[in-house]
Amino acid sequence: MSDEVPQHPLKAADRHIPVLAGRAEELLGPALTRINASGRGAVLVDATLGLGGHSERFLSMFPELRLIGLDRDTTALTLAKERLARFKDRITFVHTRFDGFAEALHEAGLDDIGSVDGVLFDLGVSSMQLDEKDRGFAYSIDAPLDMRMDTTTGPTAADVLNTYSHGELARVLSTYGEERFAGRIASEIVKQRVSQPFTTSAPLVELLYRAIPAATRRTGGHPAKRTFQALRIEVNGELDALNNVIDPACDALTVGGRVVFMSYHSLEDRIVKRALAERIKSRTPHGLPVELPGAGPEFRLLTRGAERASEEEAAVNPRSLPVRLRAAERIARRE
């Protein structure tokens, strides 16, 4: 694929409505304004910069806030830089998958322990990636089966389909797509690729219509949804990246700092839920009448369960419908 940035008729701001932006501001704002209402002295890491919608809101609301924006997608970084050009003196852009979090802080001249006040994760595929026809994320149009968020590196979805064994394909579809018919679909893929290797999405969608029983198709949503999710997660190592980044992100927070996670499917949300649950636990042995010094919880939850988009927001921005938001605040740091 060419390294040239494609021409986009719409500006980033016109192509992207940030999900739950108001709620993210409510949750992160207190951590960013502890020194001054302008955000002076505070650092926010937007670990999934995308087209910069969330960052634009924070930089506008807090005129002295410093921001570090991470993204693995070079096209997204280019568009975000255009969108946020008026704030460029307060931003450090870093091309990295978000589990390069600690290295990104070093690149920005910060320590990886206790140096930031807020961290935002808006997980999953971005609006831009869904809208780009040649990226292959959407099953509604015939497009090359790429699905890489960083198009400069790594195997494509077509590579996965054409080279993985039956067992590997079934594992990916079952684990990352929670697909009931993973084995049947994997068999059909292996059979078809012998005579017709997969290059674009339409033949895969046609195969899925054949492989998934009609009764399930009538009640289970689009038959390609789970397979496309599974391929995307596999190609981009999304769950590995999420597992790898939670510790560095939490370690980087100052006492009083906050982190917000927006997940878009149960696999992501489950990882976040379990990780935060560990961080709100006390290390005082059960049964002792008082908390031992230095053994109390390091974090407290800011949300009760996973928050969802309101009906009003979902109506304005349909891509917010599946979001699950969780947030936590660092309240102590153990030695």
Please compute the mean of the pLDDT values over residues 310-330 and round it to a whole number: 92
119-139 b/e (C-beta count within 10 Å ≥ 16 → b): bbbbbbbbbbbeebeebbbbb
More confident residue, 223 or 132: 223
pLDDT digits (tens, 9 = 90+) for 161-208: 999 999 999 999 999 999 999 999 999 999 999 999 999 999 999 999
Q: Domain 136-236, CATH 1.10.150.170 — does that match?
A: yes
Confidence at 106, pLDDT banded by 50, 70, 90: very high
In a 3-state reduction of DSSP, which class is residue 270?
Answer: helix
Buried-state track 1-12, b at ≥16 Cβ within 10 A, e below 16: eeeeeeebeeeb
pLDDT recorded at residue 128:
62
Work out the average pLDDT over 88-92. Answer: 97
Distance of CA 46 to the CA centre of its chain: 11
- Residue 292: the pLDDT is 79
Task: Please tell me the predicted confidence (pLDDT) of residue 131.
Answer: 62
The whole-angstrom separation of Cα 262 and Cα 321 is 12
Encoded tokens for 100? 């390069």
Percent of the chain whose pLDDT exceeds 70: 92
Task: Decide the pairing of beta strands 66-71 and 43-46.
Answer: parallel
Q: Is 251 annotated as ligand-binding? A: no
* pLDDT level of residue 5 (50, 70, 90 thresholds): very low
The domain 12-128+238-330 belongs to what CATH superfamily?
Vaccinia Virus protein VP39 (3.40.50.150)
Would you say 122 is a known binding-site residue? yes
Short-list 192, 189, 188, 169, CA closest to 179: 169
* Average pLDDT across the chain, whole number: 91
pLDDT of res. 16: 62
- 52 labelled ligand-binding: yes
On whether 53 is known to bind a ligand per the annotation, the reply is: yes
> Hey, where are the domains in the chain?
12-128+238-330, 136-236
